Amino acid sequence: MTLLSTRAMTKNFAGLTAVNAVDFDLPKGEIRALIGPNGAGKTTFVSLLCGRIEPTSGTVEFDGADISHLPAHKRINLGMAYTFQITSVFARLSVFENVALAARKRVHGTAQVAQAVHAALDQVDLNDRAEQIAGDLSYGHQRLLEIAMGLVQRPRLLILDEPTQGLTDSEIDAFKALVRGLKDTTTILLIEHNMSVVMETADRITVLNFGEILAEGTPTEIHADARVQAAYLGTG
Amino acid sequence: MSDRQKTVLLHGGLLALLLGLQFVLPAYHHGNLARIMVLAVYAMGYNIMFGYTGLLSLGHALFFAAGMYGMGMSVQLLGATPAPAMIGGLIAGAVVAAALGALALRTADVAFMIVTLMFAQAGYLAVLYFGSVTRGDEGFVIQQAQRMMMGIDLSDATNRYFAAFILFALCLIAVLWLVQSPFGKVLVAIRENEERARMLGYDVFRHKLIAVILSGTMSAAAGAAYGLLFGYVGATFASVQYSIFPLLWVLLGGAGTALGPFIGTLFMFYLIDLSSNVTSAYMLIAGVALVVLTLFAPQGLIGEVRSRIWRWLP
Amino acid sequence: MEIGPYILLASLEGAVTAAVLALTAVGLSLVFGVMRVVNVAHGEFFMLGAVLAWWVAQSVGGHPAVGFAAALVIAPLLVAAIAVVADMTVLKRIEYDPERTIVATIGILYIIQQVTLMTYGPDARPVEPPFNTRLAIPWFEFVDGKFQMYWPWGLSTTSYKLSVIAAAGVVLVGVWLMMARTKIGLLMRATQLDRETALAFGIPVERIYAIVFGMGAGLAALAAVLIVPIQQAHYLMGGDPLLLSFIVVIIGGLGSLPGTVLAAILIGLSDGIISVFFSPTLAKILATLLVALVLVFRPQGLFGVKTR
């Protein structure tokens, strides 16, 4: 069963084709990693999926429905969640309120919201900082807060844009465990540079290069793919 | 004590104080305070947009005047009594706000400020242009006989104070409730980071439009009450100056605080009142205040209190 | 008077308005273009130019031309100096944040206006024009199959009004030459294009900003000195030029100098002609609504080309 698919998805920026006629299918329940060299169009591609930017042409389907013309907020309400690559929390609000804003789309009532927030903060181990101002958190903790804001929405599709950037090794280990734990409930699309995270969590990998899909397969297949090695992995 | 209890205590305390003051204040200050409470309602309305949603309007006189003329025209042309006339003012404000919001919210930042300024200027000029109905610059007086509400004479000082107090209390409670509600928290989220709010699934345009309508309607309520309680409707209240005033009051008192608009209005009213005894150039005070606040205290008085002492202030 | 000569007269008056408006609006446009800030106090710099012109002409005395010539030099320079001080003490300190700049310049607006009221007073005062010859204008009529020339009563202009148009043209060409051909113009354009890169290349952006803000105010003041022999100086005279400049700058496309000049000519001329047929209030209502709707539906201006 396919949760998300695109057909001929294309985005031009003033003559530069960032994403070029991408056909992409993501089955329900899969953890998919999206990798590729810098400037391959990864962030542009996921921004097209969740409606942050308008495509030049092409269609997106989510759960069998064409969502190509829905504005971003409606796509999110269908069960997508997006965590920003460049940390984009509400810097002057508390950690609790940041997550609560994400939670209130799903749960209602003060007590229920608080419960959901604390559960999500527990998952990223930030519960003891709930009352801090988000802008005062360290960079790594802000990344974790972003993830918590994604988790609390209980999305059907969770799009994580470089979630482990700036995390410590132990935080990265915790993140791997967290992602594996979500496997039963959530489909995940993960943009990631850290190869150990990709290899240990992803079911399948899509490699993007110059805005086109270069290869797709299991981690082992991708690891062995000569074209991928040439384009991206270098010496592997 | 929980934050909620402290909030109730502080704001309830202010209301009790204002209620009590009317028995002790000398006539002059008694009248001033009634005026300040009505103008503070205007400032609170402005604050919903500017303070909580981050939309800086330079055209709020349009809403204030819509309420005032909606009320005044109902009395003049339809012979309405105060209660229906007030409702006429509120409806006028809400309609104007919805129309302006639907157009102006297509822009953002500086363009939004200029668009609101221009629409308000067009509104002011329209009041002058249709002078045969509005009486233009000269304005018109609402007679004592027209200010009788269910047997209560609103031109009487005590009744007037009471009416102003009730309006102020209702609006203060409404604002407190609004900003603690999930809806109000989304407004703050939009102010803080619009793109993030959108990517959490919130319909930003709809939230902003509702904020503009609420803000415009509350400003209109102040305009209507001002005309009704003080018996005069005139084009001055639609001019640019009356768009700048609520900005000034809210900046001084503290944008995005429930108490700020009242405190700002109170201070600025007396500053201008005192200086107009000395010079006719009393707007100099407003100018200096705007520059000094922008430079040194962008958070305003209550904003400073919140960031230094009482972090729980709503 | 018949309608033909009447419209010619309105166009001539409109051309004077357009000339002065073009200068004022180019000042506002320059500031917006380079600094990306909206100067709400721009109209007060205009007013200050007129009031200082009266003051200079008054203190110099002698032949009107001497006083006027002195005012033409001194008033814009003084106003520019005041603007530079405002830039360095206020705008620079709030780092040219667009919204806070608007609030601060509203404050500056009231400070300038009210200090003028306290010192210069509430009266309107004239400045004598340096020369003012009445020039009658002929009109042609088609009677019995041949042209006849005659001099309709009231159809005239003055040598001063014509020279205002000429002077504005010269100054505008000067501004354009400065922007296009000089080093300081190049630095301004570089700053306009990309502030960060300009900084990285060692362009003294803050000094450029101060110069641009001073120049913008100076142009408004110069426009006011030119118009004050026709209009009189009054402390509340800044409102209309501010509104009209806004209209011109927005319709011409924010920050575009040719667009601004074109829009100034259009608005100035049509203002004169429209007010023949409509009440000036209605004309202003239509103009303000036009500006608002242009910003809402066509933010690049009527003459601008859509970028991005």
Would you list the domain boundaries of chain A?
1-79+158-236, 91-154
More confident residue, C170 or C253: C170
Q: Give a yes or no: residue C261 inside a domain.
A: yes
Interchain pair C104, B107: CB under 8 A: no
Question: Of the candidates B195, B201, B204, which has its C-beta nearest A105's C-beta?
Answer: B201
> Which of A52, A94, A101, A133 would you mutate first to test chain B, the one with the most B CBs within 10 A?
A101
What superfamily would CATH give domain A1-79+158-236?
Answer: P-loop containing nucleotide triphosphate hydrolases (3.40.50.300)
More confident residue, C292 or C143: C292
Residue C259: closest CA among C227, C299, C209: C299
Q: What distance in Å separates residue C150's CA from the closest CA in chain B? A: 39
Per-residue pLDDT tens over the stretch A95-145: 999 999 999 988 888 889 998 999 899 888 888 888 889 888 888 888 889
- What is the count of residue pairs from B and C with beta carbons less than 8 Å apart? 116
ipTM: 0.87
Which of chain B's residues have a Cβ under 8 Å away from the Cβ of A93? 188-189, 192
Tell me how far apart the 2 most distant CA atoms of chain C are, in Å: 74
Residue C111: closest CA among B295, B126, B5: B295
Interchain pair C117, B280: CB under 8 A: yes
Kindly list the averaged pLDDT for each block of 10 residues, start to end, along chain B of length 314.
83 84 84 92 95 92 95 86 90 95 89 90 92 82 76 80 92 93 93 91 94 96 93 89 90 88 91 83 85 86 83 81
> What pLDDT score does C304 carry?
57
Three-state DSSP state, C255 = coil
Tell me how far apart the 2 most distant CA atoms of chain B are, in Å: 59
pLDDT band at C307, cuts 50/70/90?
Answer: very low
Q: Say whether residue B291 is in contact with chain C using an 8 A CB cutoff.
A: yes
**Whole-angstrom distance, CA of residue B47 vs CA of residue A49:** 36
Are A160 and A191 within 8 A, CB to CB?
yes
Question: Of the candidates C104, C279, C284, which has its C-beta nearest B294's C-beta?
Answer: C104
Interchain pair B189, A101: CB under 8 A: yes
Q: Say whether residue B78 is in contact with chain A using an 8 A CB cutoff.
A: no
Q: Which residue of A has its CA nearest to B199?
A: A73
- Helices (runs of H) and strands (runs of E) counted in chain A: 9, 10
Three-state DSSP state, A48 = helix
Per-residue pLDDT tens over the stretch C84-143: 999 999 999 988 888 888 889 999 999 999 999 999 988 888 888 878 777 777 777 777
Q: The CATH number of the domain where C99 resides is what?
A: 1.10.3470
List of residues 6+ apart from A6 with CB closer than 8 A: A22, A23, A24, A48, A49, A58, A59, A60, A61
Question: Of the candidates B111, B126, B284, which has its C-beta nearest C115's C-beta?
Answer: B284
**Whole-angstrom distance, CA of residue B69 vs CA of residue B123:** 11
Reduce the secondary structure of chain B to three states and give it as a string.
CCHHHHHHHHHHHHHHHHHHHCCCCCHHHHHHHHHHHHHHHHHHHHHHHHHHHCCCCCCCHHHHHHHHHHHHHHHHHHCCCHHHHHHHHHHHHHHHHHHHHHHHCCCCHHHHHHHHHHHHHHHHHHHHHCHHHHCCCCCEECCHHHHEECCEECCCHHHHHHHHHHHHHHHHHHHHHHHHCHHHHHHHHHHHCHHHHHCCCCCHHHHHHHHHHHHHHHHHHHHHHHHHHHCEECHHHHCHHHHHHHHHHHHHHCCCCCCHHHHHHHHHHHHHHHHCCCCCCCHHHHHHHHHHHHHHCCCHHHHHHHHHCCCCCC
**Whole-angstrom distance, CA of residue A204 vs CA of residue A190:** 11
Q: Give a yes or no: residue C78 inside a domain.
A: yes
Which of chain C's residues have a Cβ under 8 Å away from the Cβ of B122? 285, 288-289, 292
Which of chain C's residues have a Cβ under 8 Å away from the Cβ of B288? 107, 111
Q: Give a yes or no: residue C143 inside a domain.
A: no
- Specify the number of domains making up chain C: 1
Planar angle of CA C168, C169, C175, nearest 5 degrees: 85
Q: Which residue of B has its CA nearest to A75?
A: B201
Domain that holds residue C285: 3-133+160-297
C-alpha distances out from residue C187 to A36, A123, C178, C181, C259, Å: 40, 53, 11, 11, 21
More confident residue, A70 or C252: A70
Structure tokens at C85: 């001080």
**Whole-angstrom distance, CA of residue C96 vs CA of residue C90:** 9
